[in-house]
Structure 1
Amino acid sequence: MRFLSAFLLTLLLSYVGGLYMPWWIIAPAAFLVAVIIPQKPLTAFLAGFFSLFLLWTLLASYIDIKNKHLLSTKIAELLFKTPSHWLIMMVTGLVAALTAGMAALTGSFLRKKQDAS
């Protein structure tokens, strides 16, 4: 239950924060959720990782579909020598997922340290 709560809260805070703030707001959002909701470090990492992977992949895909995959196909060709727009979506999701996962892991370790004191 805590995993699902952390997953949804991280997703929601990141989405709302991303509407008004820079992209890196996902890190403080995931950190804050991991500090508030007690979880094991691996669980906190996975909640942050999967919530942002899902959010950013879906948001990037939505934008990509609206412009008929033009930009993502060209960028994929430049970076990976293949016209796969899905590869760019996965890389986008992975960047966000690692950022949020590491922030959530840090928040979990901080909470664990405070509990031990």
Structure 2
Amino acid sequence: MDSTNTQLLIDAAKSIIDNAVALQKGEPTGKKGMENYSHFSASVHSFQVYTFMDPEFESFQPLKDFQQAVAKFDEHYSKLRYEINVKADQKASKPDLEALQEQFEKLKQAFNG
């Protein structure tokens, strides 16, 4: 795998983590909740774009595991995309945030190993 592409992907994954933490700790509803979700969603989109830069990424299991963890965490907040008065259950999302952070660490190790 190309080291430049790998670094871009790791940086994009770190952005997902940073925005997931902000989402989990931020306002669970309203305009601010929607803004936080928008930032998270944008970082996920950027990450997804970077996954197409290297054909080897498609079959890289740690990357697939990270993507699954992102999707699981996103389930708690995706309703904020369209509804301003809906409240996200941040307490319920905490284990999935921790799993996402764990998968990020595994992804970094796999790329650096």
The structure with more helix, counted as a fraction of residues? 1
> TM-score surpassing 0.5?
no
TM-score (norm 1): 0.32
Higher-Rg member (1/2): 1
TM-score (norm 2): 0.33
